[in-house]
Structure 1
């Protein structure tokens, strides 16, 4: 298969031009190795090369020799190599020496000798609709934040096609699969997580049955503010402490990525809520955990709405990262919520409501305007963009200043 360009490609090149090593982190099967190989000059694959693992045990420097940038794939399998890479970067004193990839965050003691100034971390997530070539790219998020007014025709993706994209997910390996095969692969992926990976990541045995029940609870609560206590009750036969431990392990495997709360200065006396929103790194994992299908999703519009939000948050996270920004969410004591807040390092911010159907645009716009009126713009600045992101329809700019953006027309 040809390499599909990723949004992080340019970021990776820039980081290699200024830093000794780049650590690409992300869940299994999101395309880390292919992305690194696209720019690497040599490689060693620790997950499949037994000779390389033996060499690390004898002298880790042996596997570091090679044309640069040199890819060290799944480096956390031999974590002792971390300090040798760090020292090698110091000795060579040149940028672009190594690309490390890993599908699990190692224990803190492994990287206690930090790579500050030597290594930089780059997050890779499953592919966006634009990377999957299912978005026309008619609207640029960067341009919209710079006051561009959206105007584009309906991209033409049907609701059935959109639901299939949610169920299949943004996994590069699925590009060659049928939908049925992709659904099976996602279920197998979670099966491996619950039976093997979640125990291996900590070195602590986890009960596969309880992990499976927790994954289903997470799936049912995708896009909500479910607490560990609530999930313990939902799962049954499991303590709150065990839920917290399992969640921490799933975070280290990077298959869940909760959406933090934004805490702006407000004009009103509303109290902010700090609970994160529960999210899988890709909505297809929620579909797999529930063992449902596109047909099943079309019969449960409420669940489908939450999973569509999850898909949009996935894409926004990728696009925001390219702009040195993060994706947050907002909720206050009056019940006012905003699905996604994009907060940039330079202080600019944008707010998004996510609505699967175009019939909900009016409601979304009203919520955004109400929210914007509560934010103390003297301290936070005025929003660079207020937008309702939809599953279909035209892209346009409303008279009240709210943009309407079909997700199938969006690019970074």
Structure 2
């Protein structure tokens, strides 16, 4: 996968479709289910990915005749070559039940693709769609998808390695400055081919739209844009951390109830998500904390919210490290197609990410640095966490340190060290 140019642009040349990890997932889902629901933040590429396979399209958010049609001849909205894409279906929630009934009638897979950037309110769809719809979540592009990672250190291959077996050392061409630029630029498909300045302007516009328009969409409730922007800035400062509603309320001068309500709305438009705390399968005398970590839909939104850029990140390595961890968690989620957890004991022992692949637990520490001391500290945390919470499981866990360094390899103690420039699906 070729890395995209982020310094030059030709506005007269359309950017071609960039292959996504979701492409094959969508094809597979259409082979097993009557419909596929694709959710994710606006502008993450849901519609373009669906269009690569859809044979007809209904755009529910801009079709001026659709409301009348659904009132008089609702079944006509579903007519068209299949798979039929119904974009932003939640604008007219009846489309969900119409599609469900039509899937039951046709009794064939691959009939509809429904995309949505807003989770519908309670009762919007009268039936869950179980047995009719497969579900696919998309996010912004990973380092692998934008070509910043060569993918030579496959996450799934690491899981398949027998305990004690090492990966072949491999270098990465990605520089720390490249990583800072990519975090500021973001993984938005619409930014591909733009300059860094243009991408930054788009990211700031995205935040303005969230604050002024999108956050009201889930329940048609007015929310003060200035308050929303204060909350987004507070989330940006605490990105990738266990920042609490109490802290957010103090930082924004909002009530805790208001913060909770705003956070819920941001989650429903997929602008932010919580990285839940992991719970071990085995009983442990040492309790794990249950506070989630907060992430925005893309680390570039945190950069935009704080009016920062790549140069600022290089001067503020602590914040750079937070963003880097958030990006790695984001990429692990969409490369593994699994929910990513974090683990922290009451005594402070922690790992940055926990996931399950093919019956094996993967424990991950994320480090911007890659010095021997930094890697040793990360490896020690992984081994201690494993001994306390995971040891005794049927399959030994994979212990992984993801860095911004220049080399991927396996240590003598079995801990894998993989750079973000090599990390692949």
Which TM-score applies when normalising by structure 2?
A: 0.93
| Residue matched to 1:206 | 223
Matched residue SS, 1:399: coil
Displacement of 1:268 after TM fit? 5.6
Unaligned runs of 5+ in 2: 1-14
* Per-residue deviation, 1:176: 2.0
Q: Output the CA distance in 2 between the equivalents of 1:197 and 1:319.
A: 27
Alpha-carbon shift at residue 383 of structure 1 (Å):
3.5
Do 1:201 and 1:249's aligned partners in 2 also have CA atoms closer than 8 Å? yes
TM-superposed deviation, 1:269: 2.7
| Aligned counterpart in structure 2 of residue 97 of structure 1, from 92, 104, 111 | 111
- Does the CA contact (< 8 Å) of 2:174 and 2:406 recur in 1? no
Does 218-227 or 58-67 show the bigger shift?
Answer: 58-67
Partner of 2:363: 351
Counterpart of 1:73 in structure 2 is 87
Q: Distance in 2 between matches of 1:152 and 1:206?
A: 52
1:161 maps to what in 2? 178
Question: 2:283 & 2:220 partners in 1: Cα distance?
Answer: 49
1:215 counterpart (232, 237, 244): 232
**1:53 CA displacement:** 4.2
C-alpha separation between the residues in 2 aligned to 1:150 and 1:356?
21
Q: Could you tell me which residue of structure 2 aligns to residue 226 of structure 1? A: 243
- 2:137 aligned partner: 123
1:316 to 329, 332, 342: 332
The 5 A counterparts of 1:176-325 are: 176-236=193-253, 238-265=254-281, 269-321=285-337, 325=338
Task: Give the secondary-structure state (helix, strand or coil) at the position aligned to 2:113.
Answer: strand
Match of 1:386 among 399, 405, 413: 399
Aligned residue pairs total: 406
Q: Structure 1 residue 376: deviation in Å? A: 4.5
1:106-157 Cα offsets, whole Å, 9 max, x none, are: 0120123221111121100101011111111111110000116333432211
CA deviation after TM superposition for structure 1 residue 257, in Å: 1.2
- 1:373 to 1:79, Cα distance in 2 relative to 1, 3 A: same
Q: Alpha-carbon deviation of 1:66? A: 0.7
CA deviation string 1:69-113 (max 9, x = no partner): 000011111112111111111111111000000001001201232
TM-score scaled by length of structure 1? 0.96
The yes-or-no answer on 1:369 pairing with 2:383 is: yes
Partner of 1:139: 153
- 1:267 deviates by 7.3
Are 2:413 and 1:408 aligned? no
Deviation at 1:381, TM superposition (A): 3.4
**In the aligned structure 2, how far is the partner of 1:125 from the partner of 1:243?**
24
Task: Please give the alpha-carbon distance, in whole angstroms, between the structure 2 residues aligned to 1:24 and 1:149.
Answer: 37
Q: Which residue of 2 aligns with 1:62?
A: 76
**Alignment CA distance shift 1:361-1:117 (3 Å):** same
Deviation of 1:54 after TM superposition, in Å, equals 3.7
For the residues of structure 1 that align with 2:320 and 2:352, how far apart are their CA atoms? 15
Compute the RMSD of aligned alpha carbons.
Answer: 1.4
Q: Is the 8 A contact 1:350 1:383 kept in 2?
A: no
Structure 1 residue 382: deviation in Å? 4.1
Structure-1 separation of matches of 2:217 and 2:151: 40
Q: 2:78, 2:84 within 8 Å by CA — same for their partners in 1?
A: yes
CA distance in 2, matches of 1:335, 1:254: 30
Match of 1:341 in 2: 354
CA distance in 2, matches of 1:289, 1:381: 45
Q: Secondary structure of the residue that 1:201 maps to in structure 2?
A: coil
Q: 1:216 to 1:149 in 2, by over 3 A?
A: same
Paired residues of 1:353 and 1:388 also in contact (CA < 8 A): yes
Change in Cα spacing, 1:259 to 1:267, as seen in structure 2 (3 Å) is same
Q: 1:56 to 1:268 in 2, by over 3 A?
A: closer
Q: 1:265 and 1:332 mapped to 2: Cα distance?
A: 15
Secondary structure of 1:303's partner? helix
Q: Distance in 2 between matches of 1:130 and 1:270?
A: 37
**Alignment counterpart, residue 331 of structure 1, candidates 321, 344, 361:** 344
Q: For 1:6-38, what per-residue CA distance to the aligned partner results, in whole angstroms no more than 9, with x for missing partners? A: 111111111111101000000000000010001
Q: Deviations over 1:48-80 (max 9, x none)?
A: 322344423432211210110000011111112
